[in-house]
Structure 1
């Protein structure tokens, strides 16, 4: 590598913003085991590649008795939302803080999701990393906020 090439690499590396964290590819998540989380929003990152929340989960998290009966909106992707909600379980791990990956901002806008504020209480059903290894991360499939349900895999049908 020439001196000029090394300089370009260094300049490009220095352009990466501080605080950037690893992005998990969708294949890292376990689609066979939907997880339910509910908690208070501690941090919000309303940006691409997808909006993210940091949730503080109560120590005594329980599955809502009505979860399987909740109405799920139609999406352009074929998703059996009722089956996902009926199959949802609590995570095995006991982390009190979870990173929740939502959808790209264009999809959040298509669903007309208002930017979620710190302090809000939300719930999600989604997928964790396989065998819940590594970070406490959940890719949200459904978002429940302010009495509304949003399907995040694709756009509204």
Structure 2
């Protein structure tokens, strides 16, 4: 067999084996019910500030409620066409009763572009995002907006 062919095949196999776990673990927005924005607030625990996206576990506030000012909050402009005000108006609380949620934020390069401060265990955060249709499976939220220290960050795309 041609030695170049064998070398290319070996490199391809090694590359596939190296990146397959990351590709399988990572999923895009299409896995989430984007017609039902969910609001969560609480404290960050088990923060993982790395790629493919920043993630952490969230211990919900004891009395999770929608903030009265949520629908009127100002949101930052993003390069993606996101109707933030409509999402805020449609926001609802989850129906599931889990006290701990796994939260997926944006890739690290985008978090840096927004200037999001690195989250630490115990930081208070608010989120608006999406979970799986029917809230089935694990308690996972893919965040569209993040509030830290009263400042809002858009996470779908880069700042506009």
Check whether TM > 0.5: yes
Partner residue, 2:150: 147
Question: Secondary structure of 1:91's match?
Answer: coil
Q: Does 1:61 align with 2:60?
A: no
Q: Give the strand-richer structure, 1 or 2.
A: 1
Q: Residues 61-90 of structure 1, C-alpha deviation per residue, up to 9 Å, x if partnerless?
A: 100000001000000011110110110000
Give the alignment of 1:126-137 within 5 angstroms: 126-137=129-140
CA distance in 2, matches of 1:60, 1:119: 17
Q: Give the helix-richer structure, 1 or 2.
A: 2
Between stretches 21-30 and 114-123, larger displacement belongs to 21-30
Question: Secondary structure of 2:111's match?
Answer: helix
Match of 1:92 among 73, 92, 95: 95
Question: Secondary structure of 2:34's match?
Answer: strand
Question: Secondary structure of 1:68's match?
Answer: helix
The answer for unaligned runs of 5 or more in structure 2 is 1-9
Partner residue, 1:114: 117
* TM-score normalised per structure 2: 0.84
Structure having the higher Rg = 2
Between stretches 55-64 and 88-97, larger displacement belongs to 55-64
Shift of 1:25: 3.4
Partner residue, 2:48: 45
Question: Secondary structure of 1:110's match?
Answer: helix
Partner residue, 1:32: 35
The answer for unaligned runs of 5 or more in structure 1 is none
Count of aligned pairs: 144
